[in-house]
Amino acid sequence: MSFVSDAPLPLPGMPDATPTQPAFQMTLIGQPQPVRIPERLWRSWLDNPAALARFESKRYRRQHNQCWPWIGGVSSTGHGSFRAASLPGPSRRGTVPAHLFAYQLEYGVIPRLGWSNTDDAVLCHQCDFAGCVNPAHLLLGTNRINRSQYDLRRRNITSPLADVRGPAGRTRAIAAAIRTGLDRNENLDMIEQRIHEAEQSGMPFTLW
């Protein structure tokens, strides 16, 4: 994504008075409909204790190397959906992908992030689980890389990408299993068993 300015070039020796373009990110909720979010808004949300508390209440933390499932709202793409703020207008600008919030909370705001062109920056799930919000499992890449990795791994029947319920179905099933365990005050081992069963229930059957 590029910005085009029609402002005239400054004369030699004169200071450049052209205003600096604000940094934007492109965020995606559900269907591919990009929404511009100013960097200053991201910073205000990431520094807001109330927003952080709400976010953490929807993120189920496990060991560092494991997926951290999102147990809140889920978009049609299987990614967590987090309402960082309530902003006016039909664009849902205050609702953002939970994994994007998690990544920036850990590593800082990404100055500009796109979701359309093949070389625009996107966050890639190295674990292939769309509902994971563990920042250690997220890698900043491009749409081109993300698509090529998907094509390589989607035929692996042990991968989350092979789940017969689709990304959204898998995320919702795992989240429901965790919420059930939490509601019943089960210990961590019992909740882990629920997660394992929810993961396995979506794996395809084979003839081998």
| Summary count for the chain: helices (H), strands (E) | 6, 7
**Residue 80, domain member (yes or no):** yes
**Residue 5, domain member (yes or no):** no
Tokens of 122: 């996107």
The total domain count for the chain is 1
**Residue 177, domain member (yes or no):** no
Distance between alpha carbon 125 and the CA centroid of its chain, in Å? 9
The whole model's pTM is what? 0.76
Q: Give tens-digit pLDDT for 173-204.
A: 999 999 999 999 999 999 999 999 999 999 98
**Residue 16, domain member (yes or no):** no
Range with the largest mean pLDDT of 106-115, 124-133, 142-151: 124-133
Please give the sequence-ordered ranges of beta strands (E in DSSP) within 23-130, or none if there are none.
24-27, 35-38, 73-74, 80-83, 95-97, 121-125
Domain hosting 34: range is 24-159
Q: Give tens-digit pLDDT for 130-170.
A: 999 999 999 888 777 777 777 777 778 888 999 999 999 99
**Residue 208, domain member (yes or no):** no
**Residue 50, domain member (yes or no):** yes
**Residue 193, domain member (yes or no):** no
**Residue 180, domain member (yes or no):** no
